[in-house]
């Protein structure tokens, strides 16, 4: 496994592997089984797997969230070695952003709902960093988790408009035994809050069981109240899977989205309803 931090080293490695298909797994480190599953999918589909580790400041709307973001580079490299990743790219901020040529992407409805309203500027930051990575690496495939479903839609839009040759692949959410969606942020939960957090998936499952097109507003309220019993919810919303709008056709694919806080740790999750 090669570990590189400079653009020149990255380019040299890419030149050598130019006849191989490339799978790219971007991460902010503190790797868990969710990341491992993205790597497994990349290794299945491509000849050469690149993982990046970079905590991207431009996507944090909250400075304390950035400051508290967990870091474990040694352990991450150990995991990546175990997973037989081909190349790890760990650039610093200037290396990535110094020659940035910003691109304009309009996100439409995706930028006015759910995470976009709660974390102003977040998706613009994700787009900025991924545009840089995509330009540098030009992978055949890039892999993202279903837990961050809105992020997946945003990146799909970015790829469609600016990087049509890159296939964006969504991989299913990995869960703890309790049902909690795996996330680097889970490491900040106390034992007591970790216990409480399993209720989030229970509420989503309750929603799936009881979903009916005509009762969806009532169900949103019920689920919001259920979340409020053990945490400080930001939203519980039922929306179309393709555009995240909540009006229109009965026969669309619906999905429920939840965001809630446990002692300052912000957790999100979602479930396909039909
Ligand atoms: O999902 C993440 O960890 C980040 O948003 C990503 C895609 C690595 C961009 O910084």
Q: For position 139, what pLDDT does the model report?
A: 98
150 C-beta closer than 6 A to ligand 1: no
- Looking at ligand 1, which residue's alpha carbon is closest to its atom 2? 27
Q: For position 93, what pLDDT does the model report?
A: 98
Instruction: Map out the domains of the chain as residue ranges.
Output: 2-171, 184-272
Q: For position 77, what pLDDT does the model report?
A: 98
Residue 35: active-site member: yes
What is the distance between the alpha carbons of residues 149 and 152, in angstroms, rounded to a whole number?
Answer: 5
Other beta carbons within 10 angstroms of residue 242's beta carbon come to 12
Instruction: Give yes or no for residue 249 having a pLDDT over 80.
Output: no
The answer to whether 35 touches 8, Cβ cutoff 8 Å, is: no
pLDDT > 90 fraction of the chain, expressed in percent and rounded: 93
Q: For position 125, what pLDDT does the model report?
A: 96
Over residues 138-179, the pLDDT tens digits come to 999 999 999 999 999 999 999 999 999 999 999 999 999 999
Strands (E), the chain: 2-4, 22-27, 48-53, 87-89, 141-145, 167-171, 232-240, 254-262, 265-272
Ligand 1: which of 25, 26, 116, 143 to mutate, judged by most atoms within 8 Å of the beta carbon?
26
213 alpha carbon to ligand 1 midpoint, in Å? Answer: 33
The answer to whether 50 touches 139, Cβ cutoff 8 Å, is: yes
CATH number of 2-171: 3.40.50.620
DSSP code of residue 18: T
Ligand 1: which of 24, 25, 28 to mutate, judged by most atoms within 8 Å of the beta carbon?
28
The answer to whether 88 touches 80, Cβ cutoff 8 Å, is: yes
The answer to whether 256 touches 236, Cβ cutoff 8 Å, is: yes
Instruction: Give yes or no for residue 251 having a pLDDT over 80.
Output: no
Instruction: Give yes or no for residue 248 having a pLDDT over 80.
Output: no
Beta-bridge partners for 272 = 255
SS3 content of the chain, % helix, strand, coil (to 5): 45, 20, 35
Choose the weakest-confidence range: 99-103, 207-211, 214-218: 99-103
Top-level class of domain 184-272: alpha beta
What is the distance between the alpha carbons of residues 224 and 238, in angstroms, rounded to a whole number?
Answer: 11
Over residues 31-40, the pLDDT tens digits come to 999 999 999 9
């Amino acid at each position: 496994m090669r570990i590189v931090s400079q653009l020149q080293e990255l380019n040299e490695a890419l030149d050598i592997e130019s006849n191989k298909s490339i799978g790219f797994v971007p991460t902010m480190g503190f790797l868990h089984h969710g990341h491992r599953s993205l790597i497994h999918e990349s290794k299945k589909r491509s000849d050469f797997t690149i993982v990046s580790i970079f905590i991207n400041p431009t996507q944090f709307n909250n400075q304390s969230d950035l400051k508290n973001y967990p870091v474990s580079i040694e352990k991450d490299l150990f995991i990546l070695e175990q997973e037989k990743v081909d190349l790890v790219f760990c650039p610093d901020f200037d290396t990535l952003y110094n020659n940035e040529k910003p691109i304009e992407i309009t996100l439409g409805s995706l930028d006015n709902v759910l995470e976009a309203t709660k974390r102003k500027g977040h998706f613009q930051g994700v787009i900025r960093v991924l545009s840089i990575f995509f330009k540098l690496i030009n992978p055949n495939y890039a892999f993202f988790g279903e837990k961050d479903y809105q992020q997946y839609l945003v990146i799909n839009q970015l790829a469609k408009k600016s990087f049509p040759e890159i296939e964006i692949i969504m991989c299913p959410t990995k869960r703890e035994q309790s049902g909690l969606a795996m996330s680097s942020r889970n490491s900040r939960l106390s034992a007591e809050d970790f216990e409480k957090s399993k209720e989030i998936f229970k509420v989503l499952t309750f929603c799936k069981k009881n979903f009916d097109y005509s009762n969806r507003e009532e169900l949103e309220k019920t689920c919001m109240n259920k979340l409020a019993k053990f945490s400080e919810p930001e939203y519980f919303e039922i929306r179309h899977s393709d555009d995240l709008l909540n009006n229109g056709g009965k026969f669309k694919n619906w999905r429920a989205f939840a965001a809630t806080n446990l002692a300052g740790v912000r957790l999100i999750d979602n479930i396909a309803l039909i």
